[in-house]
Amino acid sequence: MSDTHAQTVAYVRETMLEQKEPPITETGAIKWLRENLFSGATNIILTVVSIFVIVWGLGHILPWFLNSIWDAGSLTECREIRNELYGSDASSACFAVISARWHQLLFGFYPQELYWRPVLAFVLLLSALAPVLFNNLPRKLLTWSMLAPFVLYFLLWGGTIWGPLMVLAGFVLGSVAFRFGEQVNAIIAVLAAILVPVLFWLFLAGPIAGALSELLPIGITKVESKDMGGFMLATIIGVSGITLSLPLGIVLALGRQSDMFLINKMSVAFIETIRGVPLIVWLFTASLLLNYFLPRGTNFDLMLRVIIMVTLFASAYIAEVVRGGLAALPKGQYEAADALGLDYWKSMRLIVLPQALKISIPGIVNTFIGLFKDTTLVVFIGLLDPIGLSNTIRATTEWNGIYWELFVFIGLMFFIFCFSMGRYSLFLEKKLQRGHR
């Protein structure tokens, strides 16, 4: 060090100071509280009011839960147990109604000795969805995903095995017709893939299934749709509507974007008509009016009619969500597909749709969640969903007067389903982010 610098600096430290802990107000929980709850006058007031509301709510709700009774045969017995244990003025939930009637809330009036069938069907449903939702599983499992709907139908409804097999045969014939039609023209291939299975199901499937049933009566106990209810009914309608509405919605979105006049106007008319009428009106249409347009003596199952209407209703909303994804895609993506020499279908399948669907994931999942919750509307046309069964349970002499306990259980079950869909949506969005490994 120079003499001049040594004369102007009073003290020069030759060793480093030891590292010290940061102030307690700048780390940990105290820092978080200061930054998030007490950062200003407005935030402090809102925090204090929120704490008061939370404490007040928990003070009323927690005793109701903590004093709950799970083993009783009726509401009257529940109250007697409460009076004996906690006093007549105590707040107590009578969850004994869930213990006594859980099977109805889950399965409706499905025969108890056959509960193994819907339970097995639910497990098989999860196994069929797994390879579709998670691409790290072997792709060979997708074959099971395509066959699962026919197996699940056979398990739930029972009867002869030849009915589901004839429906499957129609799809096989449609696939064969599409392959032959491709050699002529793409439009002819699509028309053949639609007309061949429809004609087979209308005129040949029934007689063939009947003849095979008489020749080889293979099947299990048949269960009518009117015996199904509860969350099993909500799951059947919800999963069917979600599965069928997504591809139909994509087709409608492409049709609305099409330059072909008839396809464009038909898609627009369908979407606007369906979206312009409440779902409950379409459900009443399926329940009451549809039979007037069917041939005399036709027995068209009510649950199937509801699934069709729910699918059409959801597909109109999915179409608009997907159309938003297509509109958000830069024009350069379409030009890039043209520059590669791809035809319309290849450009959509390989370049445009994957990106548009990624953009549309939040809207699509939001529509699916709304669709699953809207299955409760079927109570108005005579199907016993969880809400309808809760009314039936409360109408009995044993549980007349029970209220919140049933709806807490129903709300919890719907939350589990809808929260799971929301979390999968977040997982998928994160996985599809650019640069994600």
- Could you tell me the residue ranges of all domains in the chain? 17-61, 114-431
Residue 69's DSSP bridge partners are 94
Got the DSSP string for 167-221?
HHHHHHHHHHHHHHHHTT-HHHHHHHHHHHHHHHIIIIIHHHHHHHHHHS--EE-
Q: Are 282 and 315 in contact (CB under 8 A)?
A: no
Residue-level pLDDT at 437: 45
- Say what the alpha-carbon torsion angle 244, 249, 252, 258 is, to the nearest 10 degrees: -130
d(CA 197, CA 382): 32
Take residue 373 and report the two structure tokens written for it: 């919750």
How many CA atoms lie within 13 Å of 171's alpha carbon, on the beta-carbon side? 8
Residue-level pLDDT at 7: 57
Residue-level pLDDT at 345: 78
Residue-level pLDDT at 298: 61
**Which residues touch 349 (CB under 8 Å, ≥6 apart)?**
none
Q: Are 313 and 277 in contact (CB under 8 A)?
A: no
The three state secondary structure string of 110-174 is: CCHHHCHHHHHHHHHHHHHHHHHHCCCCCHHHHHHHHHHHHHHHHHHHCEECHHHHHHHHHHHHH
Residue-level pLDDT at 350: 87
Gyration radius from the chain CA atoms: 30
Residue-level pLDDT at 19: 76
Going residue by residue through the chain (437 aa), what tens digit of pLDDT does each one get?
Answer: 555 555 565 667 777 877 777 766 666 677 788 878 888 888 889 999 999 999 998 988 898 888 889 988 888 999 899 888 888 888 888 999 998 999 999 999 999 999 999 999 999 999 999 998 888 888 888 899 999 999 999 999 998 999 899 999 999 998 888 888 877 777 788 788 889 998 898 888 888 998 998 888 888 999 998 899 899 999 999 999 999 999 999 999 999 988 888 889 999 999 999 999 999 999 988 888 776 766 665 667 888 889 989 999 999 999 999 999 998 888 888 888 888 888 877 888 888 898 899 999 999 999 999 999 999 999 888 888 899 899 889 888 889 888 889 999 999 999 999 999 999 999 988 888 764 44
Take residue 9 and report the two structure tokens written for it: 């600096």
| Closest listed residue to residue 173, CA positions, set 181, 161, 185 | 181
pTM metric for this prediction: 0.85
Q: How far is CA 192 from CA 16, 166, 180, 242, in A?
A: 83, 18, 9, 26
Cβ atoms < 10 Å from Cβ of 313:
22
Fold of 114-431: MetI-like fold (1.10.3720)
DSSP 8-state class, residue 108:
B
